[in-house]
Structure 1
Amino acid sequence: MKTLLVSGAAGCAVGVLPLILGAAQPTQLLITAAASICGGLVTRAAQRSADPAPADAALPPRPIDAASAEPTRSALPVESHVAVAGRDVARDLVALEPLFSVTHEQLLSIVAQTEDAAGAIMMSLEALNAAQMRSAGCIADTRERIVGFAEQSDTALHTLAQSLGTYLDGRLRETRAERSTVDAAADQMRGLDTLIVSLEKVGASTRMLALNANIEASRAGIHGAGFKVIARELQDLAQASQAAMAEARAQVSNVQRTIAQVLTTDHGAEGTHSEQQRLESLMTELDGIARTTTQVLLGMVRTDLAEIASQTSAVGDQVLSVFGQVQFQDVVRQQIEAVDESNAMLRQCLDGLRQGLIGAEPAALIRPTAILETVRSRYVTQIQHRVDAQALGKATAGTDTPDIELF
């Protein structure tokens, strides 16, 4: 009866392992089925050890003698061996309880860490998306401002070019008008030259007339004395006229040169001053446009581009955070591999208990304490050490954990 109770307790303890590890999954259901079969085998082996063989039951009873009493005495060690094996199994099953507790807490910790990592990844991705949207908005705003400023600069430069073209066209027209005025003055001066030439011709004719009169007066002798006086006067008049014409020609030439110089000098001084003022005004406008352009571009570089750089840095930080959270999944993989290894060792341990119950020699005997130590040797984070200590009711500060986090 004790053997049956021990074997039933072993089957129940092994069967409740999937419930301790978490929600029922296909793998855990297989473990439950295997545990039930193991419990049945244990019970069956115990029954075979306790019941007599069928062949012996069919034989007629023999008289009790010294020779026949020997098997009865040899049955007592068999029952004692089964009881000892049952107690060993019960003791080993009790020793498995810390392993179950630690495994359960470690799995819960893995789930919690995975959920935290997934939440951190989602938060990082949301922050990354927000930073990317802010950066895109900043870039779009900068683009719009640059386009608007370029359009304004183009309009200002176009207006300035039109003003400069209008001014130059006006100056060209003024120059042409002044050229026409100068040409008209030159024509008038040439007309005075023609008049002077005509007067010189009249003077020459007068001299010839005076010379002829003087010749005729000399022929007339005494009767031409009066006529000779008139001829002399005409000759003097002709000479005076010629001298006057020469003087007039010189004066006209001087006047022409003087007028030309005065017109050129006055117009050149006024035009130069006016053109200088106009060019200074145009240069001032161009300098203002260039200064405004420089200030706007510097403002964009200092504000918008700085904001873009900040957003880019934030995006880089979020990407690094995501990389760190993704790397955490490798630690989760190592923890799951450690749990799988502990389950394999647990299977070997239970198989050894089964073989011990049926009286067979276990191929490889694995103790529960060895399984727990193997599990602890696969810890990769300080969190696992703290969870181990909490599952066993130990103080966290007293656990033997490294000072440096491995992840």
Structure 2
Amino acid sequence: MSFRKRNIGLSPGADRTPVANIAAQQPQAGPSPESSPGVRPSPDDGRPTTSTGTPSLDNLLAGHAGLALGKSLLIEENGTTDFAGTLLRYYAAEGVVQGHKVHVIGMMEQWGRNLPGLIGTADLAEENVDRRKEEKMKIAWRYERLGEFGAGVSGSRVPAATGDKSQVPTEGGPAATQAAFCHAFDLTKRLTHPSLSSMDYIPVMPSRESPYISIHKRLQTAIASSPPNTIHRIVIPSLLNPAIYPPAASQPENLLQFLHSLRALLTTYANRVTAMITIPLSLYPRSSGLVRWMELLSDGVMELCPFPHSPDAAAANAMSGAATAQEEPPHGMLKTHRLPVMHERGGGSDQNIGEDWAFTLSRRKFEIKPFSLPPAEGDHEAQQGGAAGGMPKKADLEF
């Protein structure tokens, strides 16, 4: 039995005005990474990603369609070729075009002057290639003068679009409101961009101690003093190359400490920094413990295995069936040892690990595509003999 009076409440209502005042006094969050140029959410889990400058490489990175911010990518290469250096130039050129801050370690300004020239957006470049293929498949030359179905007579007299193809169209459509995520470049041209002069070149200074101490301090100062919406790209070409790095740089206590500090920078500024590193396996093979530790401290690890360069080998690769008559033969194989799988709940898949991938370097792009051998062919002598003797007789067939 209750002895409480019916006209008295249990407790007075909570005053919500202080809560509203506290909420109004909280500082507003800074700009989101997606608002920065060249950054978009991952289609897999929504984390911010940026392009590597190579669309086929973006599609290979664990389903994120780009390199996630705060992650690093290690590219290993066998032999004396420099295909990995070409990927780095695409990566740096994409950052320059997007207005990102590019930090190049161990190279001089001449390396930045050799970045490939800008053609346009990657989507427009692919559309132009598809359009050329469609034109080659037309039945007769007179159909080229006809417009689309239902366009009337004026459809065949529409002049071709002129102007700079590198600009994104501005007349309606989604391409008018969305900035380009990835661009197409030409290796035979040189990049000219206002942001090219703002690239940061960090030399490797010889020191009795670790030569990476000054590099880490300069990177940390540049990232901490930049605006919060600035995206940084760290480019490290030919790590441990004796022509660039002193002998003390290859000591495990110095190199692994630098990689740990670089990983700490990527974790501290997870929404602002990415890194791409290359290393020559001809000098430091994967069987060494130092390279194994480098792979463990990197989020993604890929290996480029170029084909031997000789006329006979090139002819064999061209006749292997890996490329059609319209496509160029592959220049080597690409192995994915590790992809940036973010956490145990998902955030990236490693389904591409173990697949056979081939890479092709043309004048305008570095393309990665699946590699497949042609079907087994029959005996050439038997085929020639059958062609010479004609079809067998009906009596010779056994049922």
**Range into which the TM-score falls when normalised by the shorter chain:** under 0.3
Give the structure with the larger strand fraction: 2
Please give the TM-score of this superposition, normalised by the length of structure 2: 0.18
- Structure label with greater radius of gyration: 1
Please give the TM-score of this superposition, normalised by the length of structure 1: 0.18
Give the structure with the larger helix fraction: 1
